[in-house]
Amino acid sequence: MKLKSLHDLYIHELQDLHSAETQIKTALPKAIRAARSADLKTALKNHLEVTKVHVDRLDEILKRHGAKREDEKCKGMEGLLAECESMLAQEADDVIFDLGIIASCQRVEHYEISGYGTARAYAEKLGEEADTSLLAETLEEESSADDELTSIATMLQSQCDAGTDDDVETEAADRKPARTKTAREKVTAR
């Protein structure tokens, strides 16, 4: 279908977001079951509930414009969720494993933030006030989910071993090649 106007592009963006959110709704329960820390489990559970509301809001907006859901899958989200899935299959200690889940989930959040930022801007330009406020609410919720993941990650990072203890540093120093003379030293030595 040819996109003839900003309104057509706006609907196309909403349909893409609808597909992205639906895929997230299906994928989140697996990440919730896999998460090891109680804080991360709770944050993801809360975000699943919020995600269901996001799907409903998009349904409401699309209905208002007489547009149907797009059958085509959002491939960007499909790729991000495939990466998340392979992260869940990794073997790792609890803290590192949860940090890996957060890294994947924050990519997802940033993708959504980008999509909703665009959709909200189009809604505003098109004078769609009701849409603008619904999309702004969702955008706000995506940003706070992202912030919450950042604070859990910061807390987890403070618990994990960075793998740079003194022994490792000494070994690294031993492996350093002997310093070669600088050009100035070579000249002075003549």
Torsion of CA 117, 77, 107, 149, to 10 degrees: 90
Q: Does the protein bind Fe ion through residue 120 (CB under 5 A)?
A: no
Q: Measured from the CB of residue 113, what is the shortest distance to Fe ion in angstroms?
A: 8
Distance CA 15, CA 62 (A): 8
What the block records as the tokens of 123 is 């809604």
Q: Measured from the CB of residue 142, what is the shortest distance to Fe ion in angstroms?
A: 5
Return the ∠ at Cα 153 (arms to 55 and 171), rounded to 5°.
Answer: 145
Q: Which stretch binds Fe ion (CB under 5 A): 75-83, 106-114, 126-134, 165-173?
A: 106-114
Q: Which stretch binds Fe ion (CB under 5 A): 7-15, 25-33, 52-60, 169-177?
A: 52-60
Q: Which stretch binds Fe ion (CB under 5 A): 35-43, 112-120, 125-133, 167-175?
A: 112-120
Note whether 18 and 69 are within 8 A (CB). Answer: yes
Q: Measured from the CB of residue 161, what is the shortest distance to Fe ion in angstroms?
A: 30
Binding characters for Fe ion, 123-162, by CB under 5 A (x = yes): -------------------x--------------------
Number of residues that bind Fe ion (CB under 5 A): 4
- Run of H or E residues at 4: none
Q: Which stretch binds Fe ion (CB under 5 A): 4-12, 44-52, 167-175, 178-186?
A: 44-52
Distance CA 31, CA 35 (A): 6
What the block records as the tokens of 23 is 């895929």
Q: Does the protein bind Fe ion through residue 54 (CB under 5 A)?
A: yes
Token pair 């893409």 in the structure block, residue: 16
Whose Cβ is closer to Fe ion: residue 55's or residue 126's? 55
Distance CA 104, CA 99 (A): 9
Interaction site with Fe ion (CB under 5 A): 51, 54, 112, 142
